[in-house]
Structure 1
């Protein structure tokens, strides 16, 4: 693949993910005007739960699907996809029963109980969308990837505006808009996957050996998912309960703005991962040297993004949010720095995924997530939301350092270019 084509791919992935990021950003002025900071805090919990339910319902199996594409026949791919969909159905039913069993916990103002089932629906259909995108990512079908991402974002955006502003549904309108958008496009994604890879006979057949392989890949990542959930949600729940959901709403706005960088780095990683896997599948000294150089360039690029973002986001905030959210500016620099370390972390997780060392990622994430909560509990009484931001940065630095060390150890890859001369 030529460098020109690779640059076009990066640009397409970047643009698709950036347009996806536009949805929450365009909605910021509308939401900050139409909802209270407390309701904004409740939406924070809702959006964080979507991540957890997507991972639990899909058993982290899209990562297995991407890896399974390499060297697999079409028949084998069909078996993998069928097994993943069967597990998705079982997991969804289990999560529905679990949600019903714990409904009494939602007597608190942290989240409306009806929203919980909205999370489940959005999560399942989001997983189906990601399954379709993974296949297009592997085949290099950037055009279809781009169209699906952009169409989903635009429908989500305009449905949200319609429900919030025209029908005056406040925060409930945002939740309903997400449910409508993801059901529509998730159903379409499933149809496309079924049409290309599946037959009813394959989907209805239980392939125990393939299901076991999917579980062996995904289950060790469960602590990783729980750790990320701790990172993205539990600290916010603690913050909301301790200092109030109004403060949480302001803090989450800052976190949401910083999350633009996570989307940018995810786009980078979507292009970088197939390249990384291709090098590791047939390693030679020239390929390893090129990989090291690319890694250094991406780390420098991530750092530059961080420096620009800290200045820009903090100064531009007052122009597109309601004044009751201006306080969010004090949290933005720390949160953007945290996202940059998260972007660097993504570059090195690919090594551990490729070598099947997912349990190492789980251990690191769970350890750092638990450390994050302990530090949050101790700092909130003294520093409030500002302490949570500092703890998030410290946790991200530790997470990056540990995964970087483990990746270097497992891949046996020297970061000194002179070793390849």
Structure 2
């Protein structure tokens, strides 16, 4: 590739620091905008409205891995071992996979619409929104992944922030001014994703990143990478979204709405972690290529410091939440406080997971992540049922925290088996 990030002399180079700051700023702004309109929405929408919006996210989490078959995730790997022309053809074939999978998923969702609506309390006539959003997100993610690999955090951040501003702005208008309740949020989401996916597609074409030349080899490569990640993606969804399914069916859609507000606040920690990881991955992969023991040791030390920082931030949020929440959200959502401590700690474990999972991606052993996620998701389903039955809706947050911890520890162990790193802080001679 002729469009690569420049190397740095220090282990924590300026490129990582600069990119990390921009990615973190972008993600913070991206999370802060809906966060700061929460005082308005929680005074206009009911917990039931929030519950319906939350259940759309659950369905989207289930459907998304099948639309495109997670092939977009392979682009960050192919970027480093393909020439631009080859990668453009590969991306073009990824779109063939996207189109075919979308048709299949749409048909299945139409056939099973009543079943889905019954178990999620989400209106069947609005299920089409999930397909539209998942399709558009696939295109948007390709454009953003390429910017990330090229070391262009400013482009990434601008695109992400503009998307959120329009999405939230339109949501507020439709909900507050037009009084469209939960429907306003979903319509705003559809419109925004449609506009930005079209814009992203145009940018990909103009930049020469798409070449529509059908190639069976590229199709097989994409499916070989993406298909093993479907259980991983579904498992991740089950870990983060199963709680709402259980609350909706065991407690009620009203409590699901309150839980969703607490979850959104608690997941600030996970958002910070994922934003750092976006900058960290290209930086890490470039250095792992060198296979130098001294560099590996410094990376491990940096990782341990990161663990302490992310966990400390989670504890700080847990202590501060009871102080500011009563003044921040509507009275109907006051019960969200009890969920935040568990979600924040779980988010810190999720952040730790990112740091160790990167080695499995680098080694190309994505099937291991699928196994870990499937196992953790199964445990999470059991824990959700048991904890909710014992402790009510807060049990869902407790189950999620335990599941994130299990996922992190298992992934750490497996990453140490597929890629050698000095986790004991000793360099081999």
Say if 2:98 is the partner of 1:80. Answer: no
Say if 2:301 is the partner of 1:293. Answer: yes
> Shift in Å at residue 282 of structure 1?
2.4
Q: Which residue of 2 aligns with 1:64?
A: 74
Q: Which residue of 1 aligns with 2:237?
A: 229
Say if 2:175 is the partner of 1:175. Answer: no
Q: Which residue of 2 aligns with 1:334?
A: 342
**Alignment RMSD (CA, Å):** 1.6
Aligned ranges for residues 16-35 of structure 1 at < 5 Å?
16-35=26-45
SS in 2 for 1:331: helix
Structure 1 stretch 298-307 or stretch 136-145: which is displaced more? 298-307
> Shift in Å at residue 230 of structure 1?
1.4
Aligned ranges for residues 96-245 of structure 1 at < 5 Å?
96-108=106-118, 110-198=121-209, 202-203=211-212, 205-245=213-253
Offset from partner CA, 1:72-125 (integer Å, 9 cap, x none)? 111111111111111111111111111101012145361012332111111111
Alignment TM-score, normalising by the size of structure 2: 0.94
Distance 2:90 2:313 in 1: 38
Contact 2:239 2:404 in 1 (8 A): no
Distance 1:228 1:146 in 2: 25
Selected match of 1:89 from 92, 95, 99: 99
Contact 1:110 1:237 in 2 (8 A): no
SS in 1 for 2:37: helix
Distance 2:302 2:215 in 1: 40
Q: Which residue of 1 aligns with 2:50?
A: 40
Q: Which residue of 2 aligns with 1:254?
A: 262
> Shift in Å at residue 198 of structure 1?
4.5
Structure 2 unaligned spans of 5+:
1-6
Contact 1:279 1:291 in 2 (8 A): no
Offset from partner CA, 1:207-227 (integer Å, 9 cap, x none)? 100110110001011111221
Distance 2:395 2:375 in 1: 19
Distance 1:299 1:399 in 2: 15
Distance 1:23 1:122 in 2: 20
Aligned ranges for residues 352-363 of structure 1 at < 5 Å?
352-363=360-371
Distance 2:171 2:324 in 1: 24
> Shift in Å at residue 287 of structure 1?
1.7
Structure 1 stretch 373-382 or stretch 74-83: which is displaced more? 373-382
Equivalenced residues, count: 418
SS in 2 for 1:347: helix
Structure 1 unaligned spans of 5+:
none
Contact 1:254 1:329 in 2 (8 A): yes
Q: Which residue of 2 aligns with 1:266?
A: 274
Contact 1:289 1:420 in 2 (8 A): no
SS in 2 for 1:58: coil
Q: Which residue of 1 aligns with 2:60?
A: 50
Q: Which residue of 2 aligns with 1:302?
A: 310
Structure 1: which 4+ aligned runs deviate by more than 6 Å?
none
Say if 2:409 is the partner of 1:401. Answer: yes
Contact 1:286 1:420 in 2 (8 A): no
Residues 54, 106 of structure 1: CA spacing in aligned structure 2 closer, same or farther, 3 A cutoff?
closer
Q: Which residue of 2 aligns with 1:345?
A: 353
> Shift in Å at residue 233 of structure 1?
2.3
Distance 1:261 1:48 in 2: 20
Distance 2:124 2:172 in 1: 23
Structure 1 stretch 350-359 or stretch 44-53: which is displaced more? 44-53
Residues 60, 369 of structure 1: CA spacing in aligned structure 2 closer, same or farther, 3 A cutoff?
same
Structure 1 stretch 164-173 or stretch 304-313: which is displaced more? 304-313
> Shift in Å at residue 420 of structure 1?
5.3
Contact 2:175 2:185 in 1 (8 A): yes
Distance 1:104 1:63 in 2: 32
Alignment TM-score, normalising by the size of structure 1: 0.95
